Structure formats: C-alpha cells, structure tokens
Amino acid sequence: MGTINMKKLPFAILLIAILVTPLIYLSNSNLACAGTVPPSIIATDTVWTAANSPYDLSGPTLVQSGVTLTIQPGAVVNLNAYYLQVEGTLKAVGTNTNPIYINSSPVNAGKIKFTSFSNGWNEQTGTGCIIQNAVINQTVISITNSSVKITDNTFNDDADMMNNNVAIITSGTGSSIIANNHFNGGLDIGDNSEVLNNVITGGMGLYGGLPLVSKNTISGGSSYFFIGRSFDRNYNTLVIDTSAKVIDNDINGSVILNGYGDVSAQIIGNTVGLIMDGEGSVNLVISNNKCAGINLDSANSVTINNNLIFGSEIGIQVGNAKVKDNTIANCKIAIVVNRGTSPTLSGNNILNSAQYNLKLSGAENVDATNNWWGTTDQTAIGNSIYDRKNDFNLGTVTFVPFLTSPNPNAPPLDYYPEPSASPEPTAPPNEPTPTPAPSGGSTSQQAPTAAPSNPMENLLVIVVPIMAIIIAGLVVVIVVLTKQFY
C-alpha cells in the first residue's frame, strides 16, 4: 500500500462532508414531517389540514366546550387505540373527491365520543357537529344525549370487539341524522335518530327513543344482543326493543320485536324475511310488507294488513290480532292461531297451502269469514281448516260467508313495496347536498379510490432518488480518492 497524499486529504474531507450533510438534513426533515401530535386538550378553535397530516393521537383527546375543531378535506386522523371526545363542536367535512380519512388500531378500535355537552346539529341553521364525506376505518362513533349529522361516509372494517362490531352507538335524547352512508358494520340506535338511505351490512338494534329507519338496505346480524335470551344477534338482522318506525327498507334477514320496553312499532312497506316477536310486544302495525312470514307468539294489539307473505313454513302465526287484506301464498300452513286468543281474519287471499289454510291451537272459536280460500268449493275450504272437527279440544272456525274471487285490495303475487314519502333532512346552508341512494338501495356509496395526501409520502418521492444519487456519488469519490492518495 502506498503513502497517503496529505496535500489532498483536506479536499477529500471537505468533499465527503458536502455529500453527507444533505443526508443528515433530509433524514431530519423526514422525521419532522412524519405527522402532527395534537395536544390532549384542544382549548382554542383549531383546524386540522391535509398539509399537516397525519394527526396522530398519543392519548385521549378532548375538544373543550365552546371550542370548534375543524377537519378539512384530505386530512388524515389516526386515532390509534384512543378516543377523541367532543364537548364543543366537531366539523369534519370532506368532499366526494377529497374525503377525510379517520383511522384506528386494527386490534382495539378508536372512538369519537359526542357527549351531552357537545354542540348538537341544527338542520335549520346548518350548525353543530357534523361528519361528512369521510372514510372511517375501524372506528366507532358514540353519541350520548346529543345530535350529530353523519352523512355520505364510508365505514370500513369496524373492529370494536367490546361493542360487537358496531359503527355507531346512540343513546339518550338526541336526534342525529344518519344518512347516505355505507356501513361494513352495525348500528345500535337508542335515541330519536333518523337513519335514512344507508347500506348497513352488520345489522341494527333499536333499543330506545323513537327512531325512524327508512329506505335503507340492511343485512347481517344485529349487534344488539338480548342477554339471557336464545336469540343470537347473528340470526336477527333488525332487533326492535322500542317504539320505532321502520318504513320502506330492504331487510335481508329477520326482524325481531321485543317487549321488554313499551314497543309501539310500525313496520310498513319493507321487503323482509321473517317478522317475529320476543316477549310481550304491544301496539304493532305491520302493513304493506313483502315477507317470508309473521310469527307473533305473545304480541297484543296487532294490526297485520296488506302484506304479501310467500313460501314459508307458517305464513302468519298470531294471537289477538286484526289480520286483513293480506295475500298468503305457497306456505305449508297459511295461518296458525295461538292458544287462548281469537283474532279477526277477513279479506285475505289464502292460496296454495301445502297442508292447511288455517290451524287452531286452542279451544277458542275464530271468525274467519269473508276470505278468499282459492276456491268456491265449501267442502274443500272446510277440509283446509284444522279445528274442532279434527280435534275435539279445539275451537270451531266460522268461514261462511267467504269471498268467491280474490280480494283486489290484497297484494298481488308479484307485489313489491313501493317507497312512500318519508321525512328526509333538508340540506343546510353552505353545505354540500347529500347524494340520494340509488333506486332500490341495492348499491352503496363507493369508497374514494384516491389515497390520502400524506406530506411525508410526497417528500419521500423526492428524497429517495436524491439519496440514491448522493450514495452513488460517495462510492465514486471513495474509489477516486483511493487511487489519488496511494
């Protein structure tokens, strides 16, 4: 090995320093742009922007009363496993092409909590708490005694194991507007909220207040679980344990009505599987639905009218109910009357029952006059009814006079519920107008395909090539200097 040329050594050191300095600077720049950590208490009006994203919560974070947190389009918020508690105002409004992104830990979902101190949404003035045009990943929104507008969002992979995969939980006296969202999880509604035009794939539980559920497509098992009962949430798409209006929905599963509370539900104009009661349901109106069956073992004061019930084991099983102007077709048994009850059956079209058109369970007599039994043969009609003539312990069914042709007021076999006019929120001033759900509710709002704008990712696009060039230059310099110095 030769002797080092000491005259050229300072020049070599200077050249190396020039090349290495940008590496150190860029490394520090990357760390500085990795994100923004909000304070644990937001005490003044604050704006979260796309430029300063992502916002990474390092613990529970509070928006104080009287304070507004504004989240702008394109901003990214990482709740991680923590919660953002709103006691002031949260205004998170993205756009269709530049949504807000709200993320949580995939193991332990973060939450956004609206308390009774938060500034409730006012539809007339367009003020208050709102989340609109956001992509919300593995995050639960909890609303207690407050009203929030939640519209045009996509909820993905709800992972809150403590709350059975629900995306939104409401309770108390609030009246939130939950509209035009796509949920890959369920909803538990315990107040006076309006749930309109959503696609919900994790079922729904209604357990308090006077909620309105209209024009949604609902599937999956409900997250609302009856403790001590055999009804598993995986088998009931909609669970009703309160006075609710369920109108013009496409429900791909069963509905169960439970009477632990004061239930005065209206189930109108839906396409649904089985409708059944739990215990002691009262004051029910079930009309203009297309369903697989109605099974009300213990319900009282029930009106069942203008429904199409098709192809089930038992079409209608009832107690003291008014059953009028329904079409019950292609069932094994069209109507079963519970023991100890005497319903009113009239104006129904009862067609093509495999076993019986009507079957009694108790000793009470039943009036079933003025129905169409699919024939004018009185003997054939009598043979299609299971009563005292089959079992001396049963009551007698009176079916004469009977209709001599189908009742035109009952639904035809090709009946499909037509949406009726139901309340929809009016777009507030200076806010984007919600996009209505497609006709039939069969498709959902599409999640934005554009990735969130992350300043660090943008910086890396520039930094990585520069670093590669600098490293290559260092290698060349070292090789050259080695030859020069020896």
50-104 pLDDT tens trace: 999 999 999 999 999 999 999 999 999 999 999 999 999 999 999 999 999 999 9
Residues 125 and 132 sit within 8 Å (Cβ to Cβ): no
Residue 329 counted as domain residue: yes
Cβ-proximal residues to 232 (8 Å cutoff; 6+ apart), any chain:
221, 225
Residue 347 counted as domain residue: yes
Q: Are residues 378 and 459 in the same domain?
A: no
Q: Are residues 393 and 316 in the same domain?
A: yes
Q: Are residues 459 and 411 in the same domain?
A: no
Task: Compute the distance between CA of residue 129 and CA of residue 85 in angstroms, rounded to an integer.
Answer: 12
Task: Compute the distance between CA of residue 478 and CA of residue 467 in angstroms, rounded to an integer.
Answer: 16
Two structure tokens written together for 149: 């507008």
Q: Is 318 exposed, middle or buried (0-12, 13-18, 19+ CB in 10 A)?
A: buried
Q: Are residues 315 and 396 in the same domain?
A: yes
Let me know how long the chain is: 486
Q: In this predicted structure, what is the pLDDT of residue 284? A: 87
Q: Are residues 400 and 473 in the same domain?
A: no
Residue 177's nearest CA partner among 214, 228, 140 is 214
**Which residue positions in the chain have pLDDT lower than 50?**
1, 20, 22-33, 159-163, 225-233, 422, 426-463, 485
Sign of the torsion formed by the C-alpha atoms of 15, 19, 22 and 27: negative
Q: Are residues 363 and 474 in the same domain?
A: no
111's enclosing H/E stretch is: strand 110-114
Q: Are residues 301 and 412 in the same domain?
A: yes
Residues 61 and 84 sit within 8 Å (Cβ to Cβ): yes
Query: How many DSSP H helices and E strands does the chain contain?
Result: 3, 44
Residue position matching structure tokens 């209006």: 245
Q: Are residues 336 and 392 in the same domain?
A: yes
Residue 354 counted as domain residue: yes
Q: In this predicted structure, what is the pLDDT of residue 106? A: 78
Phi and psi torsions of 173, nearest 5°: -115, 10
Residues 65 and 117 sit within 8 Å (Cβ to Cβ): yes
Query: What is the CB neighbour count within 10 angstroms for residue 227?
Result: 4
Residues 268 and 247 sit within 8 Å (Cβ to Cβ): yes
407's enclosing H/E stretch is: none
Q: Which residues pair with 293 in a beta bridge?
A: 274
Query: What is the CB neighbour count within 10 angstroms for residue 485?
Result: 15
Residue 125 counted as domain residue: no
Domain count of the chain?
Answer: 2
Q: Are residues 315 and 389 in the same domain?
A: yes
Q: Rg of the chain's alpha carbons, rounded to an integer?
A: 32
Residue 409's nearest CA partner among 308, 331, 300 is 308
Residue 282 counted as domain residue: no
Single residue among 365, 395, 416 that ends a domain in this structure: 416
Q: In this predicted structure, what is the pLDDT of residue 468? A: 60
Q: Are residues 370 and 471 in the same domain?
A: no
Residue 462 counted as domain residue: yes
Residue 214 counted as domain residue: no
Range of the domain at 295: 290-416
Q: Are residues 389 and 474 in the same domain?
A: no
Residue position matching structure tokens 């003035």: 125
Query: E strands within 224-329?
Result: 238-240, 245-247, 250-252, 255-257, 266-268, 271-277, 282-287, 290-295, 300-305, 308-310, 314-318, 321-324, 327-329
Q: Which residues pair with 309 in a beta bridge?
A: 291, 328
Q: Are residues 359 and 468 in the same domain?
A: no
Residue position matching structure tokens 């009300």: 296
CA 173 centroid distance within chain: 20
Residue 265 counted as domain residue: no
